Amino acid sequence: MEAEPFYDEYALNEWQRLEKHRTEFAVSLKTIMEFIPQARQSTRRTDSDKTFQNNRL
C-alpha cells in the first residue's frame, strides 16, 4: 500500500500512536514544517488540525 492512502485510511490510529510517542511527534512535525513549506501555509481546517492544536508541545 502506498503511504498516502495508508495514512488517509488509518489517520486516527496514527494520531493516537503519536500521542503516545511525543518525541516522535515533535521530530515528525519539525521535519514536515522544514521540508514541506506549504504545510505551514495550509488554511484547511480538519479534525486532525484541532487534535494537533490541542496537543501542541
User: 39 and 31 in contact (C-beta within 8 Å)?
Assistant: no
pLDDT band, very low/low/confident/very high, at 37 (cuts 50, 70, 90): confident
Note the pLDDT tens digit of each residue in 12-34: 998 898 899 999 999 988 888 88
> In the chain, what are the domain boundaries?
9-39
Residues 6+ apart with CB under 8 A from 22: 57
pLDDT band, very low/low/confident/very high, at 35 (cuts 50, 70, 90): confident
Kindly state the percentage of the chain with pLDDT values over 70. 67
Q: What is the pLDDT of residue 18?
A: 87
8: which 3 cell numbers?
A: 488517509
| Whole-number Å distance between alpha carbons of 43 and 27 | 22
Neighbour count for residue 47 (Cβ, 10 Å):
10
